[in-house]
Amino acid sequence: MEELCGAGAAAPLRGDLEEPKQGSVLFLGGNEVKSSAVVKYSSAPPQAAFARLQEKTDLKLPPANWLRESAKLGPAGTTILGNNKKSKPFSSFGMAYDFIDSVGNDVDVVSDSENIKKLLKIPYSKSHVSMAVHRIGRTLLLDELDIQELFMRSSQTGDWTWLKEFYQRLIDQKWQRKKKSKEHWYQKAILSKFLYYSINGDGAAQPVPSTSKQHQEGPVSGEGDEAGEASWPAPFEMPSSLSEDPGASNQGSVPLEPSYIVGHVASAPKEQNLTTLFNDGENSQGLKNDFVRNILWTFEDIHMLVGSNMPIFGGGRYPAVSLRLRDNNKPINVLTGIDYWLDNLICNVPELVMCFHVNGIVQKYEMIKTEDIPNLENSNFSTKVIKDIAQNILSFLKSNCTKEGHTYWLFKASGSDIVKLYDLTTLCEETEDKYQNPFTMPVAILLYKVACNMMLKKNQNKKHYGTIRTLLLNCLKLLDNGRHPQIIASANYMLSELFQLDEPKKEDSTDFPINGNSDESYSEEEEEMPDSDENGSYSNSSDPPDDNKAVAIIKSVGELSVPEKYKSVHRIRPSCAFPVCHGTEERCRLVLNYVLEGLKSVDSSIKKESDLPAADPSTPIPLKYEDESTSGGPECLEKQMALFLDKMGSFQKGKHSSQSGMIPGSWQYKMKLQLILKSSKAYYVLSDAAMILQKYGRALRYIKLALQCHDTYCCLCASMLPEVLVFLCQCLTLCGDIQLMLAQNANNRAAYLEEYNYQTKEDQEILHSLHRESRCQVFAWATDLSTDLECQLSVSCKCYEAAYEILLFSNLKSQNPEQHVQVLKRMGNIRNEIGVFYMNQAAAVQTERVGNKTVSTTEQQLWKKSFSCFEEGIQNFESIDDATNAALLLCNTGRLMRICAQAHCAAEGDFKREFSPEEALYYNKAIDYYLKALRSLGKRDVHPAVWDSVNWELSTTYFTMATLQQDYAPLSRKAQEQIEKEVSEAMMKSLKYCDIDTVSARQPLCQYRAATIHHRLASMYHSCLRNQVGDEHLRKQHRVLADLHYSKAVRLFQLLKDAPCELLRVQLERVAFAEFQMASQNSSAGKLKTLFGALDIMAKTKGAFQLIKKELVAESELTSEGKSAAENMSPTDSSTSLNKDEVLKLLSIFESRMSFILLQSIKLLTSTKKKTGGINEEEAVLQTNKQVYSLLLRATANRSLTLLERVEVILNLLEQLTQNSDTGSAGIQ
């Protein structure tokens, strides 16, 4: 039998590969009943032909081969020939374990063929029926519940007393054991001998010696003595080896992929069997699949997995026949007919051979086709009725056995017509410990196995997740942590695996059906629903009061023959659907909850070591908030970083240690690794989600927990898998991001600190479990919340560097190019941030430096640090061909060079200040970096905004350098002409990079810059002209250039609406330029022409004065309302840019120049008039000029006029001049 069990256990290896073969469709008695059978597994050898016994053979004499193994039959022979033990109470579980794919899904019933036959004969039979029913998904498992044997056991051991009392109270008060008759044993013995004769080739009776006979007959009489066999076990206990010795299982190296746990503990057919986990339990419980063959039988629309031991022989017209022995004196009745017919249908046997005997003496043989059996004399029955009975019983059971994990008891007393269904689990829980029910453990294991099997199927989509979750939750309800920590830990891990941590925020409705799918969406807490049938057969309202314990009742077995009397009311329940999590946090919290339960199971199963640190899970573990005064700064960080990388390197060499004393390779070790990694991922996702919500304190707390989990994982794990290292890189990268965001949002530090220090009880308990294995301090340097900005930036940088190092030394760079690029990009970015930080510090030191002309060592150190960061950042970006960011860093380096140049300026107040060579050096370096930035970009299309920004900075640098050279000319080192040439070149280059045509936010700035450059160049050439003597050609050139630049400056200033003073100043300079030219003129006509040109320039300042007036009026209105302009105007508002002192100064100059020019023009026009006589046009101009001159003198004489009134006077005078400008021009001509 041992060998046979082994063969049974291996069944799926063959059965699963077998292609389903369509069985026959039989036409029986005119009523078509569809039946097909596929043998999934058989331990029987090829069918041997039966030997036809001679007449008068005495079956009372044993044949020579009786009860001996046959070479033809192999080890399964004794079972085939009817000497197998009675069907075990857990036989359906053995089959379910072997064909786990079928359970919960496409099979309706799993049972021994004897139980199926017994159920289908209920309406015809008076005998009692007692069966245990269990539900797994949509599958029902049926097993015989032998009350006789059960209560015998109860009398001996005291178990099951609650059921015995219940039985005696409700069903049979005078219960006593019924003995089997001598006739029963006699019939069994001659059947056994008959089968051995039939397989024996010579067919002759070979009597054996009497001693041997007695010896051999012993087992036969005893084989059915159930009292002698302990087929009913004690309530299930976990094998002692598992619960006590964590190192009992030794399964080699640790496969760390998520399917490991499922594969290892689930014992899917592809993996090793569950022997490591449930070995002793299965053997003691009778959980082996002992059937000679397992058949997938489809009867009408009912799919059944059936176990059968019926002997099948070859011979006859068909390749298979069943062999039966009948007493010629007893006719075949309906029950026997149904029995024979169903046996043949289940095993797909087309013919029955019947041997008739009288008192053990063979009389004759008869062959009957299977389809003729229902029409035999004295054995007439309708196959259609049998079909209706099958459908009704299945519907009744499916409608009422709704709770997974519960043991239901289907009972019909002998001679009774009433069938009752009880929920034994509920009855047991009302009385005693649930583990008093011996079905608890097999059911839990089966629920677990089915869930594992569904998890292992790679092509499963998420619609089955609700089913898997329900299976596992029901499994956990049945288990006790003290007895079954391994299954509990594994089930919790699988529950955590159901929640996809990295899935998108919006769940796809196709993947997450709210109401489950079809019949699989059974509920864990399904209500019993009364049948809609008007007879109310399910209702127990009319039952006697003592029957209120029954879940459901069939009042009369006759009802089972009525077609569709019982319809399955097994509705789809929304409660089985996979929970839709409203957000990432909720999903992660569910995962962590399952992980924690798993960790508790693992920890509770490890022996308590005396040297373990005593820790209370309810006491918070401090998160070590450090002030910058206590931390050692960047140098300390460097050391920690070096230690960390050294430790990372040591992981590769395979060092590992566990403080709790877990043995590497034990199930606790493997399971804890998986749970820790899962929790690390959950915390990572939580941290990422908090980061998106800008809750940076919370994000740092979560990433700290993620890294603490990872630290523990590293302490335990012998070898780091590439995907785990990649995940560590992601954690460190996120940690770097968080530290950077904390540095950039320093103003919210108090709120972040509060978030960081908050801890949930769940987090504390997980940390407590981690601390059993390691100190969790390896990543402390990366996750402490510092209050020092420089420290935060340094930590951020070190995180990225650590991530980069891991990618580098693990050779993961090429396998994870995207990760590699992301890390380098972040490294470039953080180095830019640190470079800018040091650059700003240097600028701050510079502004604080008063009176001291020399550059301090502090500044120089800061420049070096800043420059070094920029240089490294540029290398990072260039290594990943990120031209845009490299250009930005080159641009920042240029800015640093400009700050260095500014630092070398002499202190203000020094009249001898000159533009120094150091300044020139640094400005030229800045220009080089800006030009490199432009070369890096290549063309504007690459990144227009960056391109424009670099161009603007380059233009500014040239402009600043030119302005400084112009204002603080280095005359001690260079000649005036050389300086003028350099200034002119720099200004023209500044103009080249100043884009005034592209419409953008910067366009007005560019226009102002260009106007200022033209103004400065015009002023420079004007100045050269004044100071120059000799070379007439050069003077003419300067005159032309000055005029050109003045006109360009005016045109650009006129485009701007917020620079009236600048426009006025340029125009006044042009007037002065005209006056200078007039001084060198000799003819009156030439002078007059120049004067009229100057007046025309003055008339064109009307627009500038109008802008000034508008702003003065707006200001006076605000003042009159009792509000000052300073309170109501933003700094960017144009009115604040109006400098009143500047306006007064320019107005005074304008009035004096206008007065002078009008006077000169009046004088010249008067003298011309005397010489030539009156010309009407000139006369008109003269009169206008005199009138304007007169009004101007009066206005300037009046000291009481306000600035606004003076501006209005000027506008009025300019208006008069403008009206006569055409006349004036004609007069001149």
DSSP 516-581: --GGG---TTPPP---S-TT-TT--TTS-GGGTTEEEEES-GGGGGSTTSS-------GGGSPP--
Residue 642 has what pLDDT? Answer: 63
List Cβ neighbours of 1226 (8 Å cut-off, separation of 6 or more).
Answer: 1177
- Interacting residues of 916 by C-beta distance below 8 A, sequence separation 6+: 904, 905, 906, 970
Q: Which residues of 851-884 are buried (b: 16+ CB within 10 A; e: fewer)?
A: eeeebeeebeebbebbbebbebbbebbbebebbe
Is residue 506 packed enough to be buried (19+ CB in 10 Å), middle (13-18) or exposed (0-12)? exposed
Distance CA 1013, CA 1021 (A): 12
Say how far apart CA 1026 and CA 826 lie, in whole Å: 58
User: Tokens standing for 211?
Assistant: 């001693």
- Across 243-273, b (16+ Cβ under 10 Å) vs e yields beebeebeeeebebeebbbbbbbbbbbeeeb
647 burial via Cβ count (<10 Å: 0-12, 13-18, 19+): middle
Contact 141, 108 (CB under 8 A): no
Residue 29: what are its φ and ψ, rounded to 5°? 55, 30
Give dist(CA 130, CA 119) in Å, integer.
10
Distance CA 58, CA 358 (A): 10
Alpha-carbon distance 777 to 269, whole Å?
Answer: 42
State how far the Cα of 47 lies from the Cα of 319, in Å rounded to an integer: 8
One-letter-per-residue 3-state SS of 19-44: CCCCCCCEEECCEEECEEEEEEEECC
Radius of gyration of the chain from its Cα atoms, rounded to whole angstroms: 51
Strand, helix or coil for residue 421: strand
Coil, helix or strand at residue 583 = coil
Q: Which residue has the tokens 């100045």?
A: 1023
Strand partners, 42: 293
The answer to whether 932 and 968 are in contact (CB under 8 A) is no
What single-letter amino acid sits at 1197? Answer: A
Give burial (CB, 10 Å; 0-12/13-18/19+) of 132: buried
Tokens 């209702």 correspond to: 539
Give, in degrees to the nearest 5, the angle at Cα 775 between 770 and 779: 95
> Any idea what DSSP says for residue 1080?
T
Strands (E), 913-1060: none
Tell me the C-alpha distance between 109 and 117, whole Å. Answer: 13
Segments in the chain below pLDDT 70: 1-32, 70-88, 154, 158-160, 171-178, 200-287, 315-318, 430-436, 458-463, 502-548, 568-582, 607-658, 850-853, 906-912, 1029-1030, 1122-1137, 1170-1176, 1220-1229
User: What is the rounded CA–CA span in Å between residue 627 and residue 1098?
Assistant: 67
Q: Which two tokens stand for residue 256?
A: 């760390």
Matching residue, tokens 């057969």: 537
Beta bridge partners of 37: 297
Task: Quote the CA–CA distance of 345 and 387 in Å, as a whole number.
Answer: 13
